[in-house]
Structure 1
């Protein structure tokens, strides 16, 4: 059992109750664009049709269930629980039973990977993908996918560098105790 309320030309709100779940969908369809938002919450089974009231900047929908009333605020495509009931001066809106379901949002096809058969240029910047190169003015950046960065030799400990025999923390030759674990480094065996 779904209901429809038109807030403004091109701005519709669909309300539906399936068991304990209430689903509210807002749909704004303007020339060249379409926005849609859906919110579902557990309200209980409806005991009466929903009502709608025009509020400053949006609308409040009252949902009637055995557990009581739930008020939902819709502003644009934003849907939230209303913190207050509609005021006495709020204008009641028409809510009609409908068999029409809200349209499904369009699905977007994934983009195909970007290919560059020839270098791309924009002003004094030029870029190519294989091999990856970018030039801008007198600066140049190159990346060859096959090239490996030069390996740097592992750091060699200096003769003065020592480690605690208890915990392995680096210590200086003049240290008497390890600063990490307190082990006596000058203890004679």
Structure 2
């Protein structure tokens, strides 16, 4: 037997008893989000439908079995078995109804496709390439991964002035690069 109760704030609690096990599921459905949490307790076979009471601290669930009464507290998505009998004097009993099953509020999601490698991107006067990594915007250009060798302006051996493309010093013959 499955029972359901609307808690408000788009939350519904579902109660199920199978054998000696009581399963409590709290489902929250809101714009763009869904949450569901379940907890099970060993309570024994129910003798009567469960009862829910709204208190100042949340909701208390009362379950009557052959071994006695069990009380379970629900606060938000927290569900805990109470160690003692609560005072329900000012508590408001909530409406609970029987349902055929606990609906699957979580839709199955398809896995995402892997991202494709980025190719050249062009937006207005901005252009990006990934291999080799470079970006151009207007008359500015930035390249990554390239480490151009600085061209010497003077020979490190004799100090004579050399040109940027020279491989050897024209004065002493020293190898520049």
**Smaller-chain TM-score range?**
0.5 to 0.7
Structure 2 residue aligned with 1:96: 97
Structure 2: give runs of 5+ residues left out of the alignment.
Answer: 123-127, 136-140, 147-177
Query: TM-score of the superposition, structure 2-length normalised?
Result: 0.62
SS in 2 for 1:48: coil
Q: How many residue pairs align between the two structures?
A: 136
Structure 1 residue aligned with 2:110: 109
Distance 1:134 1:21, change over 3 A: farther
Query: TM-score of the superposition, structure 1-length normalised?
Result: 0.58
Structural mapping, 1:21-170, within 5 Å: 21-84=21-84, 85-118=86-119, 128=130, 140=144
More moved, 45-54 vs 80-89: 80-89
**Structure of larger gyration radius:** 2
What is the CA distance between 1:51 and its match in structure 2? 0.7
Q: Deviations over 1:3-39 (max 9, x none)?
A: 1111115321110101111111111222333222122
Kindly indicate whether the alpha-carbon contact (under 8 Å) linking 1:55 and 1:86 is maintained by their aligned counterparts in 2: no
Q: CA RMSD, aligned part only?
A: 3.2
What is the CA distance between 1:59 and its match in structure 2? 0.7
What is the CA distance between 1:101 and its match in structure 2? 2.6
Distance 1:8 1:140, change over 3 A: same
Kindly indicate whether the alpha-carbon contact (under 8 Å) linking 2:4 and 2:15 is maintained by their aligned counterparts in 1: yes
What is the CA distance between 1:104 and its match in structure 2? 4.5
Distance 1:35 1:120, change over 3 A: farther
SS in 2 for 1:49: coil
Kindly indicate whether the alpha-carbon contact (under 8 Å) linking 2:134 and 2:142 is maintained by their aligned counterparts in 1: no
